Structure 1
Amino acid sequence: MPKLPQQLLNSLSQLDHFNAEAFVEAHREENKITSIRLNPFKKTDLDFKVNDKIGWSNDGYYINERPSFTHDPLFHAGCYYVQEPGSMFIELALKQTLELTKPLNVLDACAAPGGKSTLINSLISNESLLIANEFIKSRADILVENLSKWGTCNTVVTNNDTERFSELTSFFDAVVIDAPCSGSGLFRKQADAVDHWSEDNVIACSVRQKKILTDLAPSLKENGILVYSTCSYSVEEDEQIVEWLINEFGFEYVPLTLNKEWGIIETPLGYRFYPHLTKSEGFFCAVLRKKTHEQTTFVSKKRSSLEITKAELAILAPFLELNDHHIIKKNERFHLLNTAALNFLIAYEKQFYFKKAGAVIGEIKGKDMVPNHEFALITVLNKNLQVLELDREQAIKFLKKESFEYSSTEKGLVLITYKNKGLGWAKVLPNRINNYFPNELRILK
């Protein structure tokens, strides 16, 4: 890989714990770390072997041999997420600072592509609300896709500048900010990131990080938890930002309990991951508690225009196990949400740009329900639906939208599954099958 920036090495050499020789040597080695985090809502036997467990994550595992995830039906079904080990540290931070069994409002402020959002979603209760926000529109699309695969109905995806959240005072129990940064922690994984690194960019990123934090601080409740992280080694983007938060907003730093065998470096204001010490890429994380209070501005409103008719409910209900969920109609599409997500959508329908609210069920045409692809991935489908279970070869052909041999007594609309996990929808006709898998998601090679 390209030579590491000398300015970065000079800066890090000021830290008492830093071992420059070991750090440089680790960057000469080929990065072969692959890790996944299992979806606790879609447990099943995988088609490849997982190896050592990641110490700070309940469902995180290392993989010695990287499979072709694109050609794995269980990847498309949302049974796991491919994620850096360091990023999973957010799990430990939230578990040690929140009562996760209680209903919580959580914001993932810079959420794309969705690793931390799916992780948070795995931890919070069904009654809780996760707002996953991404400012960049093109990145918001992959965030929607990954959260849809996770299969829950208590998430909302927004596409807004963080400034919009400053109006939502004292609303969130926790705010997670994986801030845009200079990216030095990813040098081993993305060699071209070295060419884009500069001291000026570090300073520019720190200014942007402060702007984001200034925007979001009012939205956190008193005693609410702020989890701040970057993939940068630079103190200006890490400990100095934490110190600024304490001085500027009166936040309180919250230490965590770690296993020393993990090799994570604890500094006075955060936790550092170095590739020569931990089996991970570079990462920084700090947890803070808000000690001040702002008057809340959340006002619940009537459901009115989003409500569905009894006739529409009669068509949709047979496909679902509703429990405590709600069905709404928005832009001619039906959505399934929990109460917290519904209340947020109603209250802030005009203030935020929503990319996703709960799970999209589909549309009604005539007297028939036309299912959305996302509907095949949710975990509250009626277990008595017509199902066509495929083997691995058939499933890959389905995902490529190629024809395949099958045997089924079912006719009409069927849920296509692999290892009992939904992949998509199809309509079985006397002489053929109409594959409804979205063209934009199909496997191309």
Structure 2
Amino acid sequence: MHSNVYLPQAFLDEMEAILPASLNMEDFISACQRPLRKSIRVNTLKITVEEFVKRAAEKGWELTQVPWCHEGFWIEADESVVPLGNTAEHMSGLFYIQEASSMMPVSALFKSDEDRFESVLDMAAAPGSKTTQIAANMSNEGVLVANEFSASRVKVLHANIERCGVRNAALSNFDGRVFGGWLPEQFEAVLIDAPCSGEGTVRKDADAMKNWNKESVISISDTQKDLIESAFHALKVGGVLVYSTCTLSVEENQQVCHHLKEKFGDAVEFDNLAELFTDADKAVTEEGFLHIFPQVYDCEGFFVARIRKLAATDAPQVKKRLGRFPFEKASQKVQDEVEKQLHKALEIALPNDSSVWLREKDVWLFPNALEPMLGEFRFSRMGIKIAETHKNGYRWQHQVATALATGKEAHSVELSVEDAREWFMGRDVRPNNQSGKGEVIVKLGDDVIGLGKWVGNRVKNGLPRELVRDKNLF
């Protein structure tokens, strides 16, 4: 029990005033004092849900389906020896440790099988739980712009994208308020999981409310209104915007959505989420939003709204100074040569919805759907780096294996569990009675975990520094 959770009386008074008649304050406080159930989301870019469920059973993990996410499960696992984050399955990118309620915004975005988007903006993306969930729903196709205002958190975002095998993302590091002016009507879908007062997170952090006050809530809501306006301008006509927070106040939730409606009138339509999942109607508001108190589904407090854009809007005018774009699109001849050499070396094919771009000696793979934005916006990282050129051809890079390989390639080496531990700690390995030459796909079982290079009977480690662990694993 988190019986020491801090809940200011002023906050409790606010909650009592907005609590639906079907709920009561005793259950609310009791829920806030219970630790969260641990939950994970299966990364379908790497493994099917069915195969993961089988593996979990073999490991003695007990899974309970999260109602609003087919890939989401509450999990009971013995972490006394190995925490879930240090398991081989997590290190290999097969799953993401993600709070169950935070899976809901992406489920709302991809509400039906007909919701297929070529261009998506995740406006506040770090640490990457929703970004990687979006990428999986997109099947790594189209383009996913993942923005994070905090520069230090961009590194964490990129590390999670790498680990999960995402190849269609372009990362940026801006205040989300810039998108409406810089990329107006550019995206078919936008997710804004807005920065908020975090009133719903007390089950995860007992001190989350230590600095809570109503003035701060109002101040944050002003920023949220700016962000949702920017997101709406960046959305194409006919597109879908999901606005979410991990807070409970109406000022940061319903009122932000109503502000958008007041600003843009009939261009704004609220989608009803009452049928998003079984029993969703228990948390639905009269507008069709989901306002989730922690006792309803035994999760964090959360808010989700799904909004459609029915008409064009006049976006803010901005003056752009982008400077010279440092990449050059490869000629068809060069692209063909890269693909030929990659297939010869590793039996990997380039996806047909991406193109090769060059920057000095670096060879990158960009999603074709990104191209309309390249002259309009500055990104910190785009697509995946697949190679570096040298006098004898190409030196292939880590993400060629983790984002493009299937695990069926013949030019691969399967490590023992002991060697895989060494690999994840950034060390070279010597697989028993094996040797070779050139780059090689490195696997643990059937899971691709990286790209190495044979040096006699030793495989030189190619794991990027941000993915290296400095302690014993699984």
- State the alpha-carbon separation in 2 of the partners of residues 372 and 359 from structure 1: 9
Amino acid at match of 2:330: E
State TM-score, norm by structure 2.
0.84
Given candidates 409, 412, 416, the residue that maps to 2:442 is 416
How many residue pairs get aligned? The number is: 435
Residue 16 (structure 2) aligns with: 13
Residue 399 (structure 1) aligns with: 424
Q: In the TM superposition, what is the alpha-carbon distance from 1:221 to its structure 2 partner?
A: 1.5
Residue 121 (structure 2) aligns with: 107
Residue 328 (structure 2) aligns with: 305
- State the alpha-carbon separation in 2 of the partners of residues 221 and 401 from structure 1: 44
Structure 2, unpaired ranges of 5+: 318-324
Residue 366 (structure 1) aligns with: 391
What secondary structure is seen at the aligned counterpart in 1 of 2:13? helix
Q: Is the aligned partner of 1:338 residue 2:350?
A: no
Q: Is the aligned partner of 1:327 residue 2:356?
A: yes
- 5 Å-filtered alignment, 1:41-440, equals 41-43=45-47, 44-45=51-52, 46=55, 48=59, 49-65=61-77, 67=79, 68-96=83-111, 99-101=114-116, 103-166=117-180, 167-250=182-265, 251-256=268-273, 257-259=275-277, 261=279, 264-269=282-287, 270-294=289-313, 305-307=328-330, 310=334, 312=338, 314-318=340-344, 319=346, 320-324=348-352, 325-341=354-370, 343-344=371-372, 346-348=374-376, 351-352=377-378, 354-380=379-405, 383-384=408-409, 386-402=411-427, 406-412=431-437, 413-440=439-466
- State the alpha-carbon separation in 2 of the partners of residues 76 and 218 from structure 1: 38
Residue 3 (structure 1) aligns with: 6
Please say if residues 182 and 197 of structure 1, whose CA atoms lie closer than 8 Å, have aligned partners that are also in contact: yes
List per-residue Cα deviations over 1:347-386 (Å, max 9, x = no partner). 33xx32x232122212122214223222321134695352
What secondary structure is seen at the aligned counterpart in 1 of 2:154? helix
Q: In the TM superposition, what is the alpha-carbon distance from 1:427 to its structure 2 partner?
A: 2.4
Amino acid at match of 2:12: L
- State the alpha-carbon separation in 2 of the partners of residues 175 and 290 from structure 1: 11
- State the alpha-carbon separation in 2 of the partners of residues 260 and 391 from structure 1: 43
Mark the CA change 1:345 to 1:384 in structure 2 (over 3 Å): closer, same or farther.
Answer: farther
Mark the CA change 1:439 to 1:287 in structure 2 (over 3 Å): closer, same or farther.
Answer: closer
Structure 1, unpaired ranges of 5+: none
- State the alpha-carbon separation in 2 of the partners of residues 330 and 50 from structure 1: 47
Please say if residues 239 and 309 of structure 2, whose CA atoms lie closer than 8 Å, have aligned partners that are also in contact: yes
Amino acid at match of 2:357: I
Q: CA RMSD in A?
A: 2.6
- State the alpha-carbon separation in 2 of the partners of residues 208 and 32 from structure 1: 29
What secondary structure is seen at the aligned counterpart in 1 of 2:358? strand
Q: Percent identity among equivalent residues?
A: 30
Please say if residues 56 and 91 of structure 1, whose CA atoms lie closer than 8 Å, have aligned partners that are also in contact: no
